[in-house]
């Protein structure tokens, strides 16, 4: 969840569940932001459509951004999402590919890593970089460390978060990024790499 100057943007990190998405949206209310300006889905996955529907039922959502579908199954899910959004009069935009293209949200840019999979899961790996006026934050979804292809993505980030969304965690991170601050949402991951374990929520004040 990202707030900039009274605007709220929600991104599908957390653990990918409806509970996590609702928590992010209620956090906006605590900051007196009643509308979701932009809801970003980093990957097209059917189980997240119902979570989005529930947010739209309860909040004013201005815009939903999803990656451009690349195959028939993604097309079908995207069509359902567009229908749901139309029902709530929410604009749907497509994130351009290649994924290296950054999305701007106020003075923050969000850059998705290339879509990658590991053999044992149908869930794509997730890599995101948040570019801020004073530096940048790298978010890695679960198990990204099993794919050497992520090496170099987000190099030089000031803060790295090892998240829980994506393929089930089966091993400790093999790829450990250098950064001043390293956090992990999974206790075992945190312990194995000496990161700070985020128990519950992590609030980082990125912009004063
Ligand atoms: Zn997902």
Q: How far is the CA of 123 from the centre of ligand 1 (A)?
A: 6
More confident residue, 66 or 203: 66
The mean pLDDT of 56-73, rounded to a whole number, is 89
Q: Which CATH architecture has domain 1-97?
A: 3-Layer(aba) Sandwich (3.40)
3-state secondary structure at position 133: coil
Residue 41's CB: how many other CB atoms inside 10 A? 21
Is residue 63 pLDDT above 80, yes or no? Answer: yes
- Give the strand pairing for 60-67 and 35-40: parallel
Q: Treating both helix axes as pointing N-terminal to C-terminal, what angle do 18-30 and 47-58 enclose, rounded to 10 degrees? A: 30
- Contacts of residue 95, Cβ cutoff 8 Å, sequence gap at least 6: 40, 65, 66, 67, 68, 101, 103, 112
Is residue 85 pLDDT above 90, yes or no? Answer: yes
Reported pTM = 0.84
pLDDT in tens, 128-184: 888 888 888 898 999 998 988 877 888 888 889 898 889 999 988 876 777 888 999
Residue 68 confidence class, pLDDT cut points 50, 70, 90: confident
Q: How far is the CA of 14 from the centre of ligand 1 (A)?
A: 10
- DSSP summary character for residue 143: T
Q: How far is the CA of 208 from the centre of ligand 1 (A)?
A: 31
Is residue 5 pLDDT above 70, yes or no? Answer: yes
pLDDT at 175: 66
Pairwise CA distance, residues 14 & 10, whole Å? 10
Is residue 119 pLDDT above 90, yes or no? Answer: yes
Mean pLDDT of the chain: 85
Q: How many helices (DSSP H) and strands (DSSP E) are in the chain?
A: 4, 12
């Amino acid at each position: 969840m990202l707030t900039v100057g009274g605007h709220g943007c929600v991104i599908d990190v957390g653990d990918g569940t409806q509970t996590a998405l609702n928590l992010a949206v209620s956090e906006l209310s605590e900051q007196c932001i009643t509308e979701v300006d932009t809801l970003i889905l980093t990957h097209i996955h059917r189980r997240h459509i119902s979570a989005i529907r529930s947010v739209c039922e309860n909040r004013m959502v201005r815009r939903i951004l999803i990656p451009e579908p690349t195959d028939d199954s993604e097309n079908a899910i995207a069509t359902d999402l567009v229908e749901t959004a139309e029902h709530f009069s929410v604009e749907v935009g497509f994130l351009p590919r290649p994924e290296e293209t950054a999305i701007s949200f106020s003075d923050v840019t969000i850059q998705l890593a290339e879509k990658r999979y590991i053999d044992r899961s149908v869930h794509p790996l997730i890599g995101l970089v948040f570019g801020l006026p004073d530096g940048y934050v790298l978010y890695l979804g679960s198990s990204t460390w099993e794919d050497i292809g992520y090496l170099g993505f987000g190099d030089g980030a000031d803060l790295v978060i090892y998240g829980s969304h994506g393929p089930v965690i089966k091993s400790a991170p093999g790829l450990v990024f250098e950064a001043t601050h390293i956090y992990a949402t999974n206790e075992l991951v945190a312990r194995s790499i000496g990161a700070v374990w985020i128990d519950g929520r992590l609030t980082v004040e990125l912009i004063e």
